[in-house]
Chains A and B, each alone.
Chain A
Amino acid sequence: MKLNKTRLNKKANLLSIWWFAVLVLIGVAVVIATSIFYSSYIDVRKAESEILANNLAKCLNVQIVENEKFLDTFDIFEECRLNKDVFSKGSPYFISIISTNQDAMKEAGPYKFGNNALETDCEIKKQAKSAEKYPDCTQKMVLIKTTKNEKLLLTIFAVSNNDGKDVSGGENE
C-alpha cells in the first residue's frame, strides 16, 4: 500500500517544471538549427569571378589576334559585352589586365575597370586565414601570338563580391 502510494506520487510529477524546461530546450535547439541551415548563404562569387576572367580571356584573344586591336584602342565594355553600369562606382566587380610582350619584355597596363577597392580586399583575403565577407578573386594567364608573331602574356585578374540582395522595399533595381 505504501509502495503504491509512492508510485502514484512519482507519476503525479510527470508534468513538472523540468519536463517543460526540457521541451523548451529541445524546441529552441531545433528552431535555431533549422533556421541556420535553411537561411544559409549560397556563395557563387568564385564561380562568377572565373566566368568573368574566362569571358575576358576569350574576348581579348579575339580582339588582339583577329581584329588586331589592343586595350587602349577599343572599348572593353562594348567589345567584351560587359555592362558599363554594373562596373560603375561601388560595383561588386573589378578587372585588371596586364599585357607583357615576351619578346621585347615590355609591360603595358595594368588596365583597371570597376571597383578598385576590391583589388586591395583580394590582397587581404590572400593573407587572412578566414575572410568570408571578402571578395573572391581569379587570376588567369593567357599566352597569345599576334599576327606580327609577337608573344603576348595577358594577366587577367577578375574579382567578384556580388552577393545579391533583398529588394522587397518595392524598388526593383
Chain B
Amino acid sequence: MNKKAEEVLFEQIIFIVLNVVFFLILLAFVFNSASGAFVTEQFYAKQIALLIDAAEPGTMISLEITDAYNIAKNNNLDAQNIINIKDNNVIVKLSSSRIYAFKFFNDVNIEKSIRLPNSGTGDRVFLDLFIKEKN
C-alpha cells in the first residue's frame, strides 16, 4: 500500500512538472514571437518610406529606433547596418535570416546616420535622415 501511494505521489509530481514545463514553453514561444523581427522590420521599413515620401528637400527627420536596435543587438548584427536606403528602397535587416525592403517614390537624395546609446542619447537609438534635392 505504501508503495502504491508512493507511485501515485510520483505520478502526481510528474503531472504537475509536465504541466508547468508545457506552459513555460508556451509562454517562451509567445514572448519570442512578440519580440520577433518580422513585424518590427515591416513596421520601420514602411514608416520610414512614408516619411520620405511626404518630405520636402531640406527636411531633417529623427526617428527613434530603439526597438529595432535591441532586436538587431540580440541577433548579433551591426547596428549601423540595420536600416539602409538604396535605389528608392528602405531596407531593414534585424535578423540574419531575412531582409525586408519597401519602395518609396520620392526622387530625393538621403543622408542617413544612426545615433547609438553612447552618443549622448541616453538609452535610446535614433535614425537621422536628411532629405536633399537630387543633383
**Which residues of A are interface residues toward B (Cβ below 8 A)?**
8, 11-12, 14-15, 19, 23, 26-27, 30-31, 34-35, 37-42, 44, 47-48, 51-52, 54-55, 77, 81-87, 92-93, 162, 164-168, 172-173
Contacts and interface: CB of A to CB of B under 8 A. Distances in A.
Contact of A39 (B39, B57, B86): B39
Contacts of B15: 14-15, 19
Chain B binding site: helix, strand, loop or mixed by DSSP?
helix
B77 interface: no
Nearest to A43: B46
B134 A167 contact: no
Interface residues of B, number: 46
Interface of B: 4-5, 7-8, 11-12, 14-15, 18, 22, 26, 29-30, 33-34, 36, 38-39, 42-43, 45-46, 49-50, 53-54, 57, 84, 86-89, 91, 97-108, 134
A92 B103 contact: yes
- Listed residue (A37, A40, A47, A51) with the most chain B CB atoms within 10 angstroms of its CB: A51
26 contacts: A14-B12, A19-B15, A23-B22, A26-B26, A30-B26, A34-B30, A34-B33, A42-B46, A48-B50, A48-B53, A51-B50, A52-B53, A81-B106, A81-B134, A83-B88, A86-B105, A164-B46, A164-B103, A165-B100, A166-B98, A166-B99, A166-B100, A166-B101, A172-B84, A172-B99, A173-B101
A156 to B, nearest CB: 14
